[in-house]
Amino acid sequence: MQRTLIRDLGANVGKKVCISGWVNVRRDHGKMVFFDFRDRSGFVQGVVLPGSMAMEVAKDTRNEYVVRVEGTVNRRPEKNIQADYQNGDIELEIHAIEILNPSDAMPFDILGNTSGIDEAVRAEYRYLDLRSKRMQKNMRIRSEFVRRCREYLFSKDFVEIETPLLTESTPEGSRDFVVPSRLHPGKFYALPQSPQQYKQLLMTAGFEQYFQIARAIRDEDLRADRGFEHTQLDLEMSFITRDEVMAAIEDMVTTVIESMGYTIKEKPFPRISYKDAMEKYGADKFDLRTPEEKEKGILAYAWVVDFPFFEKDDEGKWTFTHNPFSMPIPEHLDWLMRGEHIGDIYATQYDLVCNGFETGGGSIRAHKPEILEAVYRILGFSTDELTERVGHMLKAFRYGTPPHGGIALGIEGSVMNLTGETMLREVQAFPMTRGGQTAVMKAPKSLTDKQLKELGLKIEKK
Ligand code: ASP
């Protein structure tokens, strides 16, 4: 008999069916055994009646066993109907159970909310943690959000293009993760902190509207809301102004979010300058919702604009606040080119804030070599350093690069807002622990002597 998905059982009352899935819960009442079965589509109650051929196997079956079950779909007696539950009005009268694979007892309770379970234990058994209802929901909402963004962008003539993971450093204000090269001993690739330079080069290449669901890898100090890896919806557009990029993103976010059934507090999204945000909220991320709106799961988006381009670092040297590839606002271009009023120059940066989190950020970019060069001069680069660091961009900008700008939307931040989660790891499938250990597997690990030799590396013994 062919498998029926649990969500379709309601349409099969009175019929014999076969389901496959997991034993969510087994309740042994002696003469009768009750089950809740689970598959990807939902839950259903099953019962093994006295005298059933399935009784012996039912007695041996435990929670989380993988089973194939044959039975008849019956309507429950009126008094047993659970109106609030999926399939609360039916149950499966079980004729046969085949155990496809038994399971050891769960190392922790996966029937409830697992967020309170010890982080290391959850990480070790992440595949079980992911079975829990909340984690299933979070991952499915994430998938749906990404799917709808993709569909929206395809409908607007964007091209999806992947860019390399083994590459040269792109500065986003973090340390790089590096990968040693076997072919070029002593040399290293950097994992991308973002696809920033490649997406701009795709504008030079004439694609005009690009996006990718990109992994960004940054060696940051780990915190609850930050890991080494995150995913961003990265996009770039040619021949647009700052207001046009912001409007395009706003339309995408609104279309996607509302089609998923969520309510947005204010449209168009309010705009506030960085200076006003700092004065009003003491931060450039803020939550505009009232307590009632929080309860209702409403999403309050806002744009923050007019960020200073540069700030002084700990050593008193100028550094960029967001992105060295940005254009200043048109009124401040002269200052940038002359290296004057550096602290007063505003970037064309726009950050998207939602419910207290930064969920995206982007800018109009420098598309002429002399503008990017002026930025790097302010950052203190010599001609040689400049060529070494961004010579390839300066060169590309000499070959008809159109004016362009873009943004990256954090997928995790967005999904946290949709699910009400406050930790990044609750919306990633296999997040690292706060100590930087991978889930399930045991990285980082030592290399064998053979690997070290091939890579031309020596590890200093501490
Ligand atoms: N490169 C920036 C980031 O990864 C986003 C952008 O400016 O498009 O945060």
The residues near 344 (Cβ < 8 Å, ≥ 6 apart) are: 308, 332, 335
CA of 68 to the centre of ligand 1 (A): 48
Which of 78, 101, 124 is the last residue in one of the domains? Answer: 101
- Looking at the domain assignment, is residue 453 inside a domain? no
Answer yes or no: do 189 and 91 share one domain.
Answer: no
pLDDT at 170 exceeding the cut of 80: no
Our count of domains for the chain comes to 2
pLDDT at 223 exceeding the cut of 80: no
pLDDT at 197 exceeding the cut of 80: yes
What band does 398 get if pLDDT is binned at 50, 70 and 90? very high
What band does 173 get if pLDDT is binned at 50, 70 and 90? confident
- Looking at the domain assignment, is residue 273 inside a domain? yes
Condensed to tens digits (0 to 9), the pLDDT of residues 408-446 reads 999 999 999 999 999 999 999 999 988 899 999 999 999
Condensed to tens digits (0 to 9), the pLDDT of residues 8-47 reads 999 999 999 999 999 999 999 999 999 999 999 999 999 9
Answer yes or no: do 302 and 350 share one domain.
Answer: yes
Atom of ligand 1 nearest to the CA of 406: 8
Closest Cα to atom 6, ligand 1: which residue?
A: 362
Answer yes or no: do 69 and 213 share one domain.
Answer: no
- Looking at the domain assignment, is residue 84 inside a domain? yes
362 lines ligand 1 (CB under 6 A): yes
Share of the chain above pLDDT 90, in %: 94
Atom of ligand 1 nearest to the CA of 362: 7
- Looking at the domain assignment, is residue 416 inside a domain? yes
Answer yes or no: do 156 and 95 share one domain.
Answer: no
What band does 88 get if pLDDT is binned at 50, 70 and 90? very high
What band does 172 get if pLDDT is binned at 50, 70 and 90? confident
Atom of ligand 1 nearest to the CA of 323: 7
- Looking at the domain assignment, is residue 289 inside a domain? yes
Answer yes or no: do 284 and 212 share one domain.
Answer: yes
* pLDDT for res 362: 98
Q: Report the residue among 176, 212, 231, 234 best suited for mutation to probe ligand 1: largest number of ligand atoms under 8 A from its CB.
A: 234
* pLDDT for res 98: 98
Condensed to tens digits (0 to 9), the pLDDT of residues 97-126 reads 999 999 999 999 999 999 999 999 999 999
361 lines ligand 1 (CB under 6 A): yes
The CATH number for 353's domain is 3.30.930.10
Closest Cα to atom 7, ligand 1: which residue?
A: 362
Closest Cα to atom 1, ligand 1: which residue?
A: 196
* pLDDT for res 63: 97
363 lines ligand 1 (CB under 6 A): yes
- Looking at the domain assignment, is residue 432 inside a domain? no
What band does 225 get if pLDDT is binned at 50, 70 and 90? low
Answer yes or no: do 253 and 394 share one domain.
Answer: yes
Condensed to tens digits (0 to 9), the pLDDT of residues 328-377 reads 999 999 999 999 999 999 999 999 999 999 999 999 999 999 999 999 99
pLDDT at 224 exceeding the cut of 70: no
Answer yes or no: do 205 and 280 share one domain.
Answer: yes
Name the residue range of residue 34's domain. Answer: 6-101
The CATH number for 79's domain is 2.40.50.140
407 lines ligand 1 (CB under 6 A): yes
Atom of ligand 1 nearest to the CA of 326: 7
SS3 letters across the chain: CCECCHHHHHHHCCCEEEEEEEEEEEEECCCCEEEEEEECCEEEEEEECCCCCCHHHHHHCCCCCEEEEEEEEEECCHHHCCCCCCCCCEEEEEEEEEEEECCCCCCCCCCCCHHHCCHHHHHHCHHHHCCCHHHHHHHHHHHHHHHHHHHHHHHCCCEECCCCCCECCCCCCCECCEEECCCCCCCEEECCCCCHHHHHHHHHCCCCEEEEEEEEECECCCECCECCEEEEEEEEEECCCHHHHHHHHHHHHHHHHHHCCCCECCCCCCEEEHHHHHHHHCCCCCCCCCHHHHHCCCECEEEEECCECEEECCCCCEEECCCCCECECHHHHHHHHHCCCHHHCEECCEEEEECCEEEEEEEEECCCHHHHHHHHHHCCCCHHHHHHHHHHHHHHCCCCCCCEEEEEEEHHHHHHHHHCCCCHHHCCCCCCCCCCCCCCCCCCCCCCHHHHHHHCCCCCCC
Task: Tell me which of 168-182, 333-347, 378-392 is least confident.
Answer: 168-182
196 lines ligand 1 (CB under 6 A): yes
Answer yes or no: do 404 and 281 share one domain.
Answer: yes
406 lines ligand 1 (CB under 6 A): yes
Answer yes or no: do 62 and 147 share one domain.
Answer: no
- Looking at the domain assignment, is residue 40 inside a domain? yes
